[in-house]
Structure 1
Amino acid sequence: MYAALIKVKIDSQFAPQAAAIFTEKIVPSVKNLSGFVAGYWIDPVDEEGLGFLLFENADNAKSVTLPSFDWSAPGVIIKQVDIRRVAFQFPS
């Protein structure tokens, strides 16, 4: 299994619009990607957000990297997308 770790900066002035785009457009798009297993987003602190998406393999996980995937939302800047192998999981 592979994880895509996504770091974002969210301008709080645009947070409501960004949240609407996220739930209406981005989440459904991610859920439909090949090999998608699960996704987790952490509430932003000081305008910094973090997403953790799990995929069956590295190629599937790379599908959310820029410019392959459209993360466009008002006031949101994708700072970093890292693809990493999941070394350990629990409970199994």
Structure 2
Amino acid sequence: MHAVIVDVSIKDADEARSELRERTVPGVAQAPGFVAGFWIQRGEGHGHSVVVFESEEAANSMAGIVRSVAPKAVTIESVGVGEVVAHA
């Protein structure tokens, strides 16, 4: 398994959460190879997500999509893909 890790700066928390619930999460959940996803807000103005896929290919595909479709309410600071080496 591989994960897409995204760090964002949040400009408008209400708009970002609405976009997340209405479009982002449902869209990601339908992506090929999707296993699980977690979206986290850390303090004011910072968000992170970890979305796990069955393969590196599926994770890389999603990483490319993330870079091109960020909602206006956030600024993407970084997008990376890594191998899941353990889980519980």
Q: TM-score, normalised by structure 2?
A: 0.88
Name the counterpart of 1:41: 39
Contact 2:13 2:45 in 1 (8 A): no
Identity of aligned residues (%): 30
Secondary structure class of the residue paired with 2:51: strand
Larger helix share, 1 or 2: 2
**TM-score, reference length from structure 1:** 0.84
Alignment partner of 1:3 is 2:3? yes
> Where does residue 72 of structure 2 map in the other structure?
74
CA–CA separation in structure 2 for the residues paired with 1:83 and 1:65: 7
Unpaired segments of 5 or more residues in structure 2?
Answer: none
Which runs of 5 or more structure 1 residues have no equivalent in the other structure? none
Structure 1 runs (4+) greater than 4 angstroms displaced: none
1:16 Cα deviation after fit: 0.9
Larger Rg, first or second structure (1 or 2): 1
- Equivalent residue for 1:31? 29
Paired positions, count: 87
CA RMSD of aligned residues (A): 1.4
1:26 is displaced (CA, Å) by 0.8
In structure 1, the residue corresponding to 2:31 is in which secondary structure?
Answer: coil
